[in-house]
């Protein structure tokens, strides 16, 4: 099984430095792009590879790049931003790539910047990822020294400067337009779309925002081609994916596997099955802003369209396992409290609705809930849902709530009937 993204990552040891990475063929993709390809050809290749964004929404990467104006002098400078904010609870995949192979990301960013002709690039990294930030800065310095960054890269006439910006906290800064406001030194509040960042982004200029894992795929696609990339997945979707499992399993962890592997394989073969004494009741397949999957979904294939067809979302691909010894009301309450706290406060359903949801869940958990509260929760899943708010934060919060109410309804009712939490 090929594992291009993690081949050179050895947990516990430092990442390869530039010299060693070059010996392993690192930066081949970058050299190939500069020598053999025009910017538009890189974009077409990425489109053909069917790479879907790994930040959670699964938007086709090549399509995003092709929205960037290419021959408009007034649209300069253009920017590339790597989203390394990774704050989705239950998610720990970008950290693995950042700490394990920063040069792979840098190579991907150079190629991407070349494709869209951006002259400045930023890595927006979460403040808590201190080790990753240190490794990145080290690798960026090496890349400058080698002439891969800076002026006239490899004699191509193309210039690129790459900066690291460490965040100041807040989940919402991972939303791409909030991230841009934050990079501009403002409160991290999402912007209206359209215009999309590809047209008007950082400082009002065309900007592509891509996730760490997305950008890390680029050098391999350029080096080995679109058909090779598609053949990596089991379902033709394109590529491998970093999958993770946390919760009460025997071996929690993160692995690079083909897209299209089943939930069961991930849980049983890679995570070693449930820990002794615990039973599987459900899973959030890709962080807390995805709908529950349950026992009947164990054979669902983990790729974007198949997980969506099963009523959830692939999200970040890092799965949180929900077991029989954890109270579902407490589990969902914890998640909604997170969303209520992290709301940027811009729009009413999210700012007012989420704290209300949180209070209701708290009262049900404490045994003081009433049956009509369940209708209030259902009402909220509708008005927090898509189309009623400025960004996808509130719809994300609605997903575990609506699916939780659906699959674990009886457990909610038991709290109300018994006037206490049956798990305590």
Ligand X SMILES: Cc1cc2nc3c(=O)[nH]c(=O)nc-3n(C[C@H](O)[C@H](O)[C@H](O)COP(=O)(O)O)c2cc1C
Residues making contact with ligand SF4 (CB under 6 A) = 172, 190, 343-347, 350-351, 389-391, 393-394
Cβ 185 to other proteins, closest distance in Å?
4
Angstrom distance (rounded) from CA 204 to CA 379: 38
* Contact present, 285 and 264 (Cβ < 8 Å): no
Q: Which is nearer to other proteins, 44 or 294 (CB)?
A: 294
- For Cα atoms 280, 290, 282, give the angle at the middle one, nearest 5 degrees: 10
HSE-CB at 262 with a 13 A cutoff on CA atoms is 11
Sheet bearing 120-125, strands edge to edge: 161-166, 120-125, 79-84, 207-211
Closest CA to 46 of 69, 67, 66, 26: 66
Tell whether residue 169 is a contact of other proteins (CB under 8 A).
yes
Tell whether residue 401 is a contact of ligand X (CB under 6 A).
no
SS3 content of the chain, % helix, strand, coil (to 5): 45, 15, 40
Give which of other proteins, ligand X, ligand SF4, none residue 335 binds (C-beta under 5 to 8 Å, depending on kind): other proteins
Give which of ligand SF4, other proteins, ligand X, none residue 338 binds (C-beta under 5 to 8 Å, depending on kind): other proteins
Show contacts with other proteins in window 252-271 (CB under 8 A). Answer: 252-254
Closest CA to 195 of 170, 172, 177, 171: 177
* Contact present, 124 and 188 (Cβ < 8 Å): no
In angstroms, what CA-CA distances link 272 with 234, 247, 353? 22, 12, 39
End-to-end CA distance of the chain: 45
Indicate which single residue of 28, 44, 235, 326 sits in contact with other proteins (rule: CB under 8 A): 326
Closest CA to 105 of 218, 241, 239, 198: 218
Cβ 295 to ligand SF4, closest distance in Å?
32
Which stretch, 6-14, 169-177, 234-242, 356-364, contacts ligand X (CB under 6 A)? Answer: 169-177
DSSP per residue over 77-121, as a string? S-EEEEEE---STT--SHHHHHHH-HHHHHHHHHHHHHHHT-SEE
Tell whether residue 175 is a contact of ligand X (CB under 6 A).
yes
Tell whether residue 224 is a contact of ligand X (CB under 6 A).
no
Tell whether residue 93 is a contact of ligand X (CB under 6 A).
no
Site string for ligand X, 183-222 (x = CB under 6 A): --------------------------xxx--x--------
Tell whether residue 186 is a contact of other proteins (CB under 8 A).
yes
Cβ 418 to ligand SF4, closest distance in Å?
34
Show contacts with other proteins in window 58-97 (CB under 8 A). Answer: 86-92, 94-95
Q: Which is nearer to other proteins, 316 or 381 (CB)?
A: 316
* Contact present, 114 and 39 (Cβ < 8 Å): yes
The residues binding other proteins (CB under 8 A) are 86-92, 94-95, 126-131, 163, 167-171, 182, 184-188, 203, 244-248, 252-254, 288, 318, 320-323, 326, 330-331, 334-335, 338, 341-342, 344
The residues binding ligand X (CB under 6 A) are 53-57, 59, 61, 83, 85-88, 171-172, 174-176, 209-211, 214, 391-393, 396
């Amino acid at each position: 099984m090929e594992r291009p993204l993690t081949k050179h990552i050895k947990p516990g040891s430092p990442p390869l430095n530039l010299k060693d990475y070059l010996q392993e063929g690192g930066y081949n993709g970058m050299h190939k792009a500069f020598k053999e390809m025009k910017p538009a050809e890189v974009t077409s290749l990425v489109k053909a590879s069917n790479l879907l964004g790994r930040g959670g929404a699964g938007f086709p990467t090549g399509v995003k790049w092709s929205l960037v104006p290419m021959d408009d002098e007034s649209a300069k400078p253009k920017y590339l931003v790597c989203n390394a904010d990774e704050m989705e609870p239950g998610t720990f995949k970008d950290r693995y790539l950042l700490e394990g192979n920063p040069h792979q990301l840098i190579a991907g960013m150079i190629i991407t910047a070349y494709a869209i002709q951006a002259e400045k690039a930023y890595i927006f990294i979460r403040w808590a990822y201190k080790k990753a930030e240190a490794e990145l800065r080290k690798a960026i310095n090496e890349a400058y020294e080698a002439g891969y960054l800076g002026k006239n890269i490899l004699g191509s006439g193309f210039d690129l400067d790459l900066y690291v910006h460490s965040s100041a906290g807040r989940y919402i800064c991972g939303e791409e337009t909030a991230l841009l406001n934050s990079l501009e030194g403002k409160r991290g509040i999402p912007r209206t779309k359209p215009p999309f960042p590809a047209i008007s982004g950082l400082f009002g200029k065309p900007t592509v925002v891509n996730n760490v894992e997305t950008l890390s795929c680029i050098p391999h696609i350029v080096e080995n081609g679109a058909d090779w990339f598609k053949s990596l997945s089991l379902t033709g979707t394109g590529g491998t994916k970093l999958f993770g499992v946390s919760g009460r399993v025997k071996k929690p962890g993160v692995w690079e596997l083909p897209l299209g592997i089943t939930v069961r394989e991930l849980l049983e073969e890679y995570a070693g099955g449930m820990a002794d004494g615990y039973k599987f009741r459900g899973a959030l397949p890709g962080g807390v802003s995805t709908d529950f999957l349950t026992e009947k979904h164990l054979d669902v294939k983990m790729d974007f369209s198949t997980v969506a067809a099963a009523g959830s979302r692939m999200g970040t691909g890092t799965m949180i396992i929900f077991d029989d010894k954890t109270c579902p009301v407490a589990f969902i309450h914890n998640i909604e409290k997170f969303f209520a706290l992290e709301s940027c406060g811009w729009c009413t359903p999210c700012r007012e609705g989420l704290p209300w949801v949180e209070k209701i869940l708290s009262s049900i958990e404490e045994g003081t809930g009433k049956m009509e509260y369940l209708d209030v929760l259902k009402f909220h899943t509708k008005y927090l849902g898509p189309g009623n708010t400025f960004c996808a934060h509130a719809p994300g919060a609605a997903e575990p709530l609506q699916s939780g109410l659906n699959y674990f309804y009886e457990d909610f009712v038991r709290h109300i009937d018994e006037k206490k939490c049956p798990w305590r």
